[in-house]
Every structure is written in C-alpha cells, then in structure tokens.
C-alpha cells in the first residue's frame, strides 16, 4: 500500500497466522497495521470513485439527449467508407454527409428509431447518433 513500508517475503503469511494466535504482545501492532491498511484501502476507493465521476462528467459533456417524435423529419448521416450502398463515387471525400430528409415512423427504443428510408437497400432502423434533425425553411431556432 502507499505510505507503508513494504512487507518482507513471507511476512504476509506470518501476519495471517498471527491473526489466529492468542498472543497479546503482537496483537496491538498487528491490529494497528490492519487498521492503517483498511484506512488506505478506503482512501484508494474514494480516489477511484472521484476519478470515475470526473471521467463520467467529461464524457457526458459531449452527449446530448436527442428525441424524435412520430412524423418528424430527420437527415440520415452516411459513412462513405463503411456504407457503399447509398451512393458510389470515385472520391469518397466529395460524398454528401447527410441524406434525406426522411420521416420518423415509430420509436423502437430510447436510442433507435425507424425512419422511412426511400432507399430499399438500407435497413430502416437507425441509431440516434446517425440521425440529425431536419430544419426546414421557415423554421426558427430557439437559443
């Protein structure tokens, strides 16, 4: 543990045996060492929990809750290097990034939606990260 002197080889086995002995002269030192060890483990658990919460906070900064309703129009994000079924071009960099707009038909679950895709070779269920809300002309954006 951090902050404690390292145990010699075989000393941990002696400590385990000493826990079961009935000697009074070594039990106070052993008990204080075990208390310090438990304290250090609790402190390490607190530091790990703090680090876990910090990482979760940083990861949640880039996440957004996107929900779509029935009949709402969305654009479909296309990955040209992976999905070649929508459009095949000589230069992938010049492909469109979003296709659509398509209507949302039903909600499959919290992160998956079924869209009315005009292309028959594409599966109609899409993850939220592949959908982008379509802002049609005349739509005002609230800050």
Span 110-139, pLDDT tens digits: 888 888 875 656 778 888 888 888 887 777
The confidence band for 17, taking pLDDT boundaries of 50, 70 and 90, is low
The CA distances from residue 106 to 99, 115, 127, 131, in Å, are 19, 8, 13, 14
**Span 72-99, pLDDT tens digits:** 888 888 765 566 666 666 776 777 777 7
The per-residue pLDDT for 10 is 53
Please compute Rg for the chain using Cα positions: 30
pTM of the model: 0.51
């Amino acid at each position: 543990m951090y902050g404690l002197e390292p145990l010699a080889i075989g000393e941990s086995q002696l400590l385990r045996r000493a826990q079961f002995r009935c000697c009074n002269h070594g039990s106070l030192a052993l008990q204080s060492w075990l208390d310090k060890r438990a304290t250090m483990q609790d402190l390490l658990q607190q530091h790990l929990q703090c680090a876990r919460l910090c990482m979760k906070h940083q990861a949640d900064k880039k996440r957004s809750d996107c929900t779509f309703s029935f009949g709402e129009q969305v654009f479909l994000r296309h990955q040209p290097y992976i999905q070649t079924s929508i459009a095949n071009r000589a230069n992938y960099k010049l492909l469109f990034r979003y296709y659509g707009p398509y209507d949302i038909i039903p909600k499959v679950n919290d992160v998956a939606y079924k869209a009315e895709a005009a292309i028959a070779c594409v599966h109609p269920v899409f993850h939220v990260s592949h959908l982008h809300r379509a802002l049609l002309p005349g739509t005002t954006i609230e800050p």
